[in-house]
């Protein structure tokens, strides 16, 4: 009989497991605290349990752990980690330290099926969804090796709303079991209307970021195939109705592609599109990669684009790329095999 991975069990399943063992329910709280609060990597590390209890539990259960295959550090301090999953697949996660925070960009799928033409991950295709504990374990793994993580962004490999059940479970674990405030967690999506409606009803109130990238459906469909299935007009109407806590705003991410979506006319169209939605706009210059059909815009054009939006009363920020020299910037994540000499 194979052992059960405790991280693969939800909160209620952990409680049921403890009850099945004939143990008091406070043991379930202790177990969850050691797994998610203290980042225990094995039953043996749970010293709050007696040795006989640890030995008894270890006969039927274990605590899984992601393995760091490779780590790279950028000149700007950004770190990228290639993490091995139990079935041999791998994912990338990126840590971006700042003066007052350390943001971890985590993945929700192995690969991505959205096929956005400006994103390197889309070119590798879709392998599989991550399970809830594999999503959360990216945070646990980094903390276990001594990295400080204060903020979480689901902006790595994959589309979170195409793995909604596991993502919702992971969000509750991050906020309830690991104590990370929902205000410090952001979910980034291409914008799937029914997924957004379900997210607002079933997940903790985390921040929402939507990858917009065009002022109209025709242009968006050229660079983001998802717009052919879910028209931009439907997405915007869904976002107008999205329930926001007091003081919260939706973040619109806009990747600027030279001579594609960076014209001043596009800026005018974008301002009309999002008018009336509590929001801010992050402008991100395209991060090139091998095989990309696009180029980043000229800096002067980015500033002109921003100015048009500001003049229309919008909050607009230019986001500088982090970790581009190690292919860790927005839109650059992809799995590749590594040689033995590259492994940690």
Q: Which residues are catalytic?
A: 92, 330
Beta strands, E only, 238-335: 250-256, 279-285, 316-319
Nearest alpha carbon to residue 186 among 177, 198, 175, 201: 175
Q: Which residues have a Cβ under 8 Å from the Cβ of 260 and sit 6 or more positions away?
A: 219, 223, 294
Tokens coding 220? 């968006």
Nearest alpha carbon to residue 154 among 98, 100, 109, 198: 109
Classify burial at 209, counting beta carbons within 10 Å of its beta carbon; exposed 0-12, middle 13-18, buried 19 or more. Answer: buried
H helices present in 163-216, as ranges: 164-172, 193-202
Sign of CA dihedral 20, 21, 27, 28: negative
Distance CA 77, CA 79 (A): 6
Question: Rounded to the nearest 5°, which phi and psi values hold at 127?
Answer: -100, -60
Nearest alpha carbon to residue 163 among 229, 89, 109: 109
H helices present in the chain, as ranges: 11-20, 26-32, 51-58, 120-123, 132-144, 164-172, 193-202, 217-223, 226-229, 232-240, 264-274, 299-311
Distance CA 171, CA 89 (A): 22
Distance CA 15, CA 198 (A): 26
């Amino acid at each position: 009989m194979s052992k059960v991975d405790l991280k693969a069990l939800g909160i209620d399943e952990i409680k049921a497991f403890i009850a099945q063992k004939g143990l008091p329910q406070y043991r379930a709280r202790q177990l969850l605290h050691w797994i998610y609060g203290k980042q225990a990597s094995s039953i043996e590390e749970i010293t709050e349990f007696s040795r006989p209890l640890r030995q008894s539990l270890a006969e039927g259960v274990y605590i899984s752990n992601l393995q760091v295959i490779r780590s790279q550090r950028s000149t700007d301090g950004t770190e990228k980690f290639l993490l091995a999953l139990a079935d041999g697949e791998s994912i990338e996660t990126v840590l971006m330290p700042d003066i007052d925070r350390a943001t971890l960009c985590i993945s929700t799928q192995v690969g991505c099926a959205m096929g956005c033409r400006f994103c390197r991950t889309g070119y590798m295709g879709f392998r599989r969804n991550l399970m809830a504990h594999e999503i959360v374990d990216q945070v646990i793994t980094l903390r276990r090796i001594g990295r400080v993580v204060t903020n979480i962004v689901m902006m790595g490999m994959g589309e979170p709303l195409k793995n909604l059940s596991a993502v919702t479970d992971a969000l509750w674990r991050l906020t309830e079991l690991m104590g990370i405030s929902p205000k410090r967690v952001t979910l980034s999506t291409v914008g799937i209307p029914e997924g957004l409606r379900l997210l607002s009803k079933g997940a903790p109130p985390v921040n929402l970021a939507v990858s917009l990238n065009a002022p109209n459906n025709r242009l968006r469909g050229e660079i983001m195939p998802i717009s052919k299935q879910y028209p931009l007009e439907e997405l915007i109407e869904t976002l107008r109705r999205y329930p926001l806590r007091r003081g919260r705003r939706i973040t619109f991410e806009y990747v600027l592609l030279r001579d594609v979506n960076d014209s001043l006319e596009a800026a005018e169209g974008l301002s009309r599109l999002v008018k009336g939605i509590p929001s801010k706009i992050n402008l991100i210059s395209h991060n090139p990669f091998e095989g990309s059909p696009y180029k980043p815009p000229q800096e002067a054009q980015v500033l002109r684009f921003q100015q048009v939006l500001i003049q229309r009363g919008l909050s607009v920020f230019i986001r500088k790329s982090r970790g581009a020299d190690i292919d860790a910037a927005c839109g650059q994540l992809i799995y590749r095999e590594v040689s033995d000499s590259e492994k940690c």
